[in-house]
Amino acid sequence: MNKVAILDDYQGVALSLADWETLPKDTHLTIFKDHLIDTPDIVQRLHKYQIVCAMRERTPFPKALLDNLPNLKLLITTGMRNASIDLKHASNLGITVCGTEGLGHPTAELTWGLIISLARKIHQENEATKQGRWQTSLGVDLKGKTLGIIGLGNLGSQVSKIGNAFGMNVLAWSQNLTKQLASTQMATLVSFEDLLKRSDFLTIHTVLSERTRNLIGKQEISLMKESSFLINTSRGPIVEEESLINALKNNNIAGAGLDVFDYEPLDEKNPLLSLKNVLITPHIGYVTKEGYEIYYSQTVECIKKFLEGNPVRVINN
């Protein structure tokens, strides 16, 4: 029997969004909706499975975990990049790691949902109105404001186009960005320092790496306007969380829209949850019905190909 574990199905939708019935009859599926953090608990849960299906980076697979999964032969991740899997060690252990395609635009769309809600205080006014209070805050325009984008790749370029549609002044920066490339994406290349100083809305769209970890810390935040907003739908550790919390507590910036955090799910004691100038979503940038249909349907295809001895879409970071 081929035992398959589907991890971190928070919404309980995995089985409804793909045709799992097409898998061989001797395939046994187990769905796990809850999330485990401690390695011993994960080992106890997964040690008997030959195939594990991970949802993005919700459950990391470092060397210590892989070493204790002796039956694991195929590890599937949704998306073609997963920095939380030790790919080299998996290969050394003879574990095949494959990925699926996905959609980029949902995260860009969520970014704008956060920006608009922060600007017009939609989340605050929604709660106030339900509590019987009418018009409690004053929003700000997007038109004429400066949008700063860190990373002008697939996602950042989509955010740039929408910023232009709102009539914003769009600036961009990344380590390898050129003036010509920025121009083709309807943005103006500036220095990192200028981006921080001039942006009314600063949004992050770069991958997490050794170069970008803690890219924005106490010093960088101190350069931002007191009226500015920081939006992060990329990865939590790109921003020093403690420095951001202190800045928000002291109103050194106007607010933040956050979809990603250092540790997820977010601890219920995290100070970010008690700050009124923070808009929080639970890492749902990629979480849409259309995106999940691609993830799960291609997960099924990957399992079928692997069991049939055919090549699968192997990933490398």
Active-site residues, by number, are: 235, 264, 283
Strand partners, 171: 148, 188
How far apart (Å, rounded) are the C-alpha atoms in residues 30 and 7?
A: 9
316 CB contacts (<8 Å, ≥6 apart)?
87
C-alpha closest to that of 231 among 200, 210, 185, 252? 200
How far apart (Å, rounded) are the C-alpha atoms in residues 119 and 254?
A: 10
| 18, 293 Cβ separation under 8 angstroms | yes
How far apart (Å, rounded) are the C-alpha atoms in residues 55 and 78?
A: 5
- Amino acid (one-letter) located at 43: V
C-alpha closest to that of 229 among 237, 221, 238? 221
30 CB contacts (<8 Å, ≥6 apart)?
3, 4, 5, 6, 49
Only one residue has tokens 């299906």, namely 53
Strand partners, 77: 54, 99
| 168, 146 Cβ separation under 8 angstroms | yes
Angle at 117 between CA 181 and CA 244, to 5 degrees: 75
CA dihedral 78, 233, 171, 244 (to 10 degrees): -140
Angle at 240 between CA 236 and CA 241, to 5 degrees: 70
C-alpha closest to that of 76 among 317, 248, 313? 313
Two tokens, residue 225 = 């306007």
